[in-house]
A and B are shown apart, each in its own frame.
Chain A
Amino acid sequence: MRYLPLTQPDREAMLGVIGASSIDDLFVDVPASAVLDGPIAGLPMHASELAVERHMTKLAAKNLAAGAAPFFLGAGAYRHHVPASVDHIIQRGEFLTAYTPYQPEIAQGTLQMMFEFQSQIARLLGCDVANASMYDGSTACWEAITMARRVTKRGKAILSGGLHPHYVSVANTMAKFTGDQLVTALPTLSPTPDTDDLIAQIDDDTSCVVVQYPDILGRIADLSKLAEAAHAKKALLVAVVTEPVALGAIKAPGEMGADIVVGEGQSLGVGLQFGGPYVGLFACSEKLVRQMPGRLCGETVDAEGKRGYVLTLSTREQHIRREKATSNICTSSVLCALAMSVHMTLLGEKGLRQLAAINHATALAAADRLAQVPGVELVTPTFFNEFTLKLSKEARPVVRTLADKGILAGVSLGRLYPGADDLANGLIVAVTETTTSEDIETLASALQEVLA
């Protein structure tokens, strides 16, 4: 087998050194009743690279790739062009096949990259410090809620109706077991987010308010008032960003007073990948850093005084603190963080601002064109690259019908909020630099046909 270098003579010689007569001697501790005599029946035997490639290629061909269709899906995962050099760099074996940098003398590549990533993310989100990544945005969001509980010693979190419903689901799942109290709401198809409602609900038991920016429908709200209201009650403001490209155009949550900013970094460098692996972002103010979950890389010097980097503040983490750790997270998403970091380095501030400007302009054009279609109403007056339409019909079957025509039209609110009748006609449409004017025209005329 091509991945196994030992030859049969090697195996026999090694058994001799060990003093075992057969490989079975090395499995003596397995109770006889649990020993399998041979390969498990009903499973195929080994296969050549060519055969496996054929099998997998056939499966891949059953999917409609985003690049092969007019494509308008967003709602927490975005399709952007990823420069070729990003993928080249993350495939370098020294990054791809390294482990967590526990031996810093021979892991400075990963460590320096983590330090750069942390610095980029802190700046992008407008915070003092960021960690070296979490699994994804949704789990980072729950971690922020638990961190706010530790910081404030209060157990009630208020979640905006504009927070991604899957993020709300994850928090609901966890809160069932931890006893945290969550206040949740559905979004409404209204032009403005629920900032005032959130402010009205903050009380002395509130640990944090969690708000998405831009929100699930694409709306953008100034977070300053919310931050002030939270701070007045000694609660924290947690902001969630699912489309970091937006921060090349709009103010960072940290600039508006958010104490913890978490997010999904997938849209820069990582790709869609049917939902994972993605890269969770986690940033906060300096004074909260010892309550932060996840790995942190810090600067130091070596025995010769040369600058270098190490994993630090590990006494927050499970491998040192065990049941008293800030989180159980161990493996995070460093290779995806590398992809994101490389993409940000290629863009730089200038490129990110240009990318954001193109996204916004293309989205404006798309929104205006689609709003001309009879039976289509633009719900969101402010947005970055994603907006919500209200259709004259239930949106979910419309999306299915358009998919049958080879058009990936957007994410229906019926898919995200099954059973919520008030939202059933809503359609979230995302537009990026990958969207062409032909794509927009194709969607507009197909919508017109379906809604007629």
Chain B
Amino acid sequence: MSTINQSGWRPTTPEAGEASDISTFTGNRALMLDEALIFEIGSSETTGVDFGEVPAAPSRLGGLERSAEIGLPGLSEPETVRHYTRLSRQNYAIDLGLFPLGSCTMKHNPRLNERMARLPGFADIHPLAPVDTVQGALEVIDQLAHWLITLTGMQAVAMSPKAGAHGELCGILAIRSALDAQGQQDRKILLVPTSAHGTNPATAAFAGFSVEDIPATEDGRVDLEALKARLGPDIAGVMITNPNTCGLFERDMKAISDAVHAAGGYVYCDGANFNAIVGRVRPGDLGVDAMHINLHKTFSTPHGGGGPGSGPVVLSAALAPYAPLPFVEKQGDKFHLVEEETAGEHHAGTFGRMTAFNGQMGMFTRALTYILSHGADGLRQVAEDSVLNANYILRSMTDVLEAPFAKYGPCMHEAIFSDKGLPEGLSTIDIAKGLIDEGYHPMTVYFPLVVHGAMLVEPTETESKATLDQFIGAFRSVAARAKNGDPTIKTAPHFAPRRRLDETLAARKPVLAWKAPAKAEAAE
């Protein structure tokens, strides 16, 4: 063999040695690459876009030409691609592994969705194009609306809300409109459980309501009797998440709805957790009047690091007349867009427009693609597998972590644990950071507020048993380290692109935009 190798190179047997103290010239560690800001590596003279000749035309800008430097750095195309590729590698993502962030439903995002949304017939059409030229787009909206109405057993759906919280706002404005139409202006209080998403009380306040808490029962549900006792002529309705944020189905949902209706109020359901019941339960059968559906949760459109979302709102017959503009209506073979102009004829009750155009079309095409892929049978399996996966984690962890509601029965799509039993000085956050070192995104932490040191784990249906088994092993190991007071967990993560970050400093001395470092005086 060695006769062939004339370079003198010899295969070696590697030795590990101690590497942690070695510093590198760049500060990088092989594939762990830091990246400077575009403001530090770009320049205002560099551009990654070629234009033909730029015409030197006279301007008609009213004498308002922008003469001062804007201060926007440019990079060439290869530098741009590299900059963002390097940044991307500092992110955890579903594509990399299990992302069990409770109540956020981080499931696989099928790439067919992306391909379909990019068809020029969907991606390259203007929101104000003549309706005859966008019949296919209106048909997409109509088909998706039909699925959402049918899956929820409701009367109508408002498609335009831009995200979950915007959908909540839509539902709450519909409730306000219905009450006002009945002369019930004095109903100004919405009842919201303490376990609710922060958006619920914030939405109620944004729409001019005040908020009161609904107490919970020992087993993590709405206290029906306490709720009934509070109902009265000042109550506009309730906002209830079902399945709730403890991962539990509100068994009394129908009785809650009946009681609220009997007292003259309306029932808003936060549909963030619809994933757990899609195809198995229709909220309409439980007396719900309005519910938003996060297309970026149940229907697999990507979260994109914090949006865009999409939050269509299904409505009961009682609220449907108040739905916002615009919406799609089919007349004969043709689809129409009902806007302010035409609303007067049949939709005089509409509370108006919530957003400039037609909602999150790019999310509609993705969600419809996903829904058609699964079909009625597949969507039902989605709910079943998501619930099965969550219960599998729940029952595999109860001997190491306290699961406050496990003794009352199964959970739905997410399992909740508390920090009870952890030694002084160690908490949920430490388990979360320990999981980062194990290669996982942590669960949702310290939410909902009703469980001390809450850890809310939602695996979703797109994880295999092998993935869950490995996660359970890691979760158990980290929980055990925390329980045993392992000091290294207090300083985790050790292997992430950054150690724990100083959030207090960030809030105390906010640096929210890049500023050029002060130039030396000598330059004058």
Contact = CB atoms under 8 A, between A and B. Distances in A.
A277 interface: yes
Given A46-B378, A97-B93, A348 B203 contact: no
Contacts of B363: 276-277
Contact of A99 (B68, B129, B303, B412): B303
Contact of A173 (B35, B112, B353): B353
| B92, B94, B137, most chain A CB atoms within 10 A | B92
Given A3-B110, A98-B305, A382 B62 contact: yes
Interface string A361-387: 100110000000000000001111000
Interface stretch (A204-212, A333-341, A444-452): A333-341
A79 B126 contact: yes
Contact of A274 (B74, B126, B249, B381): B126
Contact of A96 (B93, B121, B372): B93
Interface stretch (A117-125, A153-161, A229-237): A117-125
Given A6-B465, A95-B304, A139-B354, 14 more contacts: A83-B49, A97-B95, A105-B436, A115-B514, A116-B38, A135-B307, A249-B59, A309-B501, A318-B201, A328-B203, A348-B75, A349-B70, A365-B57, A403-B130
Contacts of B280: 27, 30, 35-36
Interface residues of B, number: 206
A349 B81 contact: no
A323 interface: yes
Nearest to B47: A351
Contact of B64 (A222, A317, A325): A222
7 contacts: A2-B373, A5-B467, A30-B280, A62-B136, A66-B124, A76-B357, A108-B497
Interface string B291-312: 0000010001011111111100
A118 B512 contact: yes
A181 interface: no
A64 B355 CA distance: 24
Contacts of B166: 135, 139, 329
Contact of A39 (B57, B279, B296): B279
Nearest to B161: A135
Interface range on chain A (Cβ under 8 Å from partner): 35 or more
Contact of A333 (B46, B308, B461): B308
| B42, B54, B87, most chain A CB atoms within 10 A | B87
Contacts of A14: 388-389, 391-392, 465
B62 A325 contact: no
Given A30-B281, A342-B84, A178 B512 contact: no
Interface in B130-179: 130, 132-137, 139-140, 143, 147, 150-151, 162-166, 168-169, 173, 176
> What 10 A-B pairs are tightest by C-beta distance, nearest first?
A348-B74, A275-B357, A335-B304, A60-B121, A93-B95, A62-B136, A275-B127, A277-B308, A173-B352, A351-B47
B384 A23 contact: yes
A91 B150 CA distance: 32
A352 interface: yes
Given A113-B84, A357-B54, A364-B60, A3 B91 contact: no
Nearest to A332: B307
B110 A98 contact: no
A75 interface: yes
Contacts of A352: 70, 72
B411 to A, nearest CB: 8
A225 interface: no
Contacts of B95: 93-94, 96-97
B128 interface: yes
